[in-house]
Amino acid sequence: MRQRWQEAGRLYLSRWGWQVRHRWERTPIGLRFAFTLTLILVALLTPWTALNLLYLDAALGTQARLNQMRRAQVAQLIIERELMNLLRHGEDYSVWNDAREAVLQRDLKWLHTNTIEWLTHHFYYDIVTVLQADGTPLVSTEPESEWLTRFPLVQDALRGKGDAGLIRHNGTVYLMSATPIYDEEWEHPHVGVLILARALNRAQLDRISEQLGNRVALTLYTDTNLLAPSSEGVDKDAIILRDSTKKPIAALKIESPLSETLLVSEVRYTAQRYVIGISVGIAFLASLALVWFLRAYIARFLTAIQRLASGDWDARVPYAARDEFGFLARTFNAMARQLQQAFEEQVRQHEEIQAQNEELQALYQQLQAAHQNLARLNQELTEANQLLAQAAVTDGLTGLKNHRAFQESLASLVQMAERHRQPLSLIMLDIDYFKEFNDCFGHPAGDELLKQVAEVLRQSARAYDVAARYGGEEFALLLPNTTLEQAVQVAERLRRQISAIQNPHAPVSASLGVASYRFGTAPAALLYEADAALYRAKRNGRNQVCVYQPEAA
């Protein structure tokens, strides 16, 4: 009985397997391909998806760490740049004869007006202090400024070495510079120290944040042990701020912006599309795996194609099933009947296309040559335009700005002075007895003298000053943000430097006229006043500096 049941089971399985196989063979090839492909995709996509998600999390974590490191480096560079700007500003005001004399004479009123109030109101410094050479405060914005002298930065400045750095006092971090007070020629010992400090407050951090493109928060730690590199008291993404002795005084924490969080979400969404792309690739691999299944059917088409290619126009594809392959077989058989007629027509069209391609290739080469010529001409035109633009604003002999460029700069700086209510001064300079020099020693010697005077102007002018050749032997120097007294000092220095020119033919001197812009007047008025002062210097005996005086005009 048991054997009979086993026999019946085997027979049933055999019949069931035969029926399944028969129905599978009668199923259209498209359905069989789709079913098999679906099974392969389900088996392959699951591990691929998990692997890609793990890779994505690791990549996002690494990118976040790199971004924080980059922001930290940029923030440190910004703070260092602010310190350098602070040091340069302090040096500009510490090298000033009037300031040195005021410290020597203990002129507290002058120092308070021209140093404390000016720097505080115009440049928004939180601390402005002037110390004597022994470290005693003369004037300061701080009621009790003795605490400033305990910092090594100030001690170095008292010894004659200026520098800038970070300090902390009463829970506030300051950007501070300490510069010795010298004269303008750096010929005498320093007589004191100028201290400038700006608090690293919320407004300053907002400026750093704007440059970083992130929100920056400052965290101070009173316990120095928490600021150690191995300490867990400070966030690992924070920047340790140190004073001039490399002692940690604060930590600058950089928080990731909301845009970065949104970017991570976008990356995750992109990763999902990436997984879909991988799925397409897997589907392609699955299609290759099923090629073996289709080869038996494709072989019939390959045989017929080979016969047709060899010239056997009677080749046909036998296929009885009413599926996609059956439709393809019927289409192929119809195509074979029409192929012979189309072959000759195709040969004729191919010859015509070949001739057209040769004509197009020749035309393309001509266009390439024309394009190269056009590019060369365009480059030459660009270079010529650049030379013309430079020549339009530069004096060809001295290299200074010419008359036209000077007039444009004068109008622009007058507008700026009116807008910001800042002083603007003008120095007009004329070489004494230049015509006689030119007539006696010749034009080449005169041109060389003009170049020497222009070089003195170029070296004495600041980066934002405007030095120009006004015409002939006459020069002009525009001094933005410069008072009349400061301009007179500059003019006197220029007069001495011009008198010191080593000219092989004759001694050199110059007459200079100085005027300061009066708010509400036209630019031409400043030019007229400086010119009037210049001619008064020439009338008074030359080789001197005269200031414009309305009653003498």
pLDDT in tens, 117-143: 888 888 888 888 888 888 888 888 888
What does the alpha-carbon distance between residue 541 and residue 511 come to, in Å, rounded to a whole number?
9
Q: Band of the pLDDT at 532, cuts 50, 70, 90?
A: very high
pLDDT digits (tens, 9 = 90+) for 165-175: 888 888 788 88
- pLDDT value at residue 215: 57
The residue type of 323 is D
CB burial of 449-478 (b: ≥16 within 10 Å; e: otherwise) equals bbebbbebbeebbeeebbbbbbeebbbbbb
Question: Would you state the pLDDT for residue 230?
Answer: 47
Burial class (CB in 10 A: 0-12, 13-18, 19+), 257: middle
How far apart CA 417 and CA 478 sit, in angstroms, is 12
Residue 473 is a catalytic residue: yes
Mean pLDDT for all residues in the chain: 79
Buried b (16+ CB within 10 A) or exposed e, 285-296: ebeeeeeeeeee
Three-state secondary structure call for residue 128: strand
pLDDT digits (tens, 9 = 90+) for 22-57: 666 677 665 666 667 677 766 776 777 777 767 777
**141-167, pLDDT tens digit by residue?**
888 878 888 888 888 888 888 888 888
| Per-residue pLDDT tens over the stretch 352-362 | 888 888 888 88
Residue 486 clears pLDDT 90, i.e. is over it:
yes
Q: Name the segment(s) of the chain with CATH classification 3.30.70.270.
A: 403-552
- Taking the domain 64-259, which CATH number applies? 3.30.450.20
DSSP state of 475: E
368 contact partners, CB below 8 Å, separation of at least 6: none
Q: Are 312 and 18 in contact (CB under 8 A)?
A: no
Residue appearing with tokens 């197009």: 360
Helices (H), 131-257: 152-158, 202-212
pTM of the model: 0.43
pLDDT in tens, 520-531: 999 999 999 999
pLDDT of residue 257: 65
Pairwise CA distance, residues 547 & 533, whole Å: 6
Which residues contact residue 436 at a Cβ distance below 8 angstroms, ignoring those fewer than 6 apart?
none
Confidence at residue 229, expressed as pLDDT on a 0 to 100 scale: 52
More reliable by pLDDT, 167 or 10: 167
Instruction: Confirm if 403 and 468 have CB atoms less than 8 A apart.
Output: yes
pLDDT at position 495, please? Answer: 94
Catalytic residue among 142, 185, 473, 551: 473
Angle at the Cα of 189 (from 184 to 194), degrees rounded to 5? 70
Calculate what percentage of the chain has a pLDDT beyond 70.
74
Are residues 168 and 243 in contact, defined by beta-carbon separation less than 8 angstroms? Answer: yes
* Spatial separation of the C-alpha atoms in residues 524 and 532, rounded to whole Å: 12
CA nearest to 245, candidates 152, 160, 339, 356: 152
The model's confidence at residue 364, banded by pLDDT at 50, 70 and 90, is: confident
Q: Mean per-residue pLDDT for 180-200?
A: 81
Query: Which DSSP category does 320 fall into?
Result: -
Give the mean pLDDT of 79-107.
Answer: 83
What is the rounded distance in angstroms from the CA atom of residue 528 to the CA atom of residue 79? 45
In this model, does residue 395 exceed pLDDT 70? yes
To the nearest whole percent, how much of the chain has pLDDT over 90?
20
CA dist 473 and 330 (Å) reads 100
Say whether pLDDT at 320 is over 80: no
How far apart, in whole angstroms, are the C-alpha atoms of residue 400 and residue 465? 12
The encoded tokens of residue 254 equal 């950089």
Q: Does residue 115 contact residue 139 with C-beta atoms inside 8 Å? A: yes
* Beta carbons of 216 and 204 less than 8 angstroms apart: no
Range of lowest pLDDT (31-40, 51-60, 227-236, 482-491): 227-236
Q: Count CB-CB contacts under 10 A for residue 146.
A: 11
Q: Binning pLDDT at 50, 70 and 90, where does residue 313 land?
A: low
403-552 placed in CATH 3.30.70.270? yes
The predicted structure's pLDDT at residue 112: 86
| 399 secondary structure, DSSP code | -
pLDDT at 530: 94
Least confident of 15-29, 243-257, 450-464: 15-29
Q: Return the structure tokens found at 344.
A: 């000759």
- CATH 3.30.450.20 in the chain is located at 64-259
> Quick check: 116 and 196 in contact, CB under 8 A?
no
Partners of residue 251 on adjacent β-strands: 219, 240
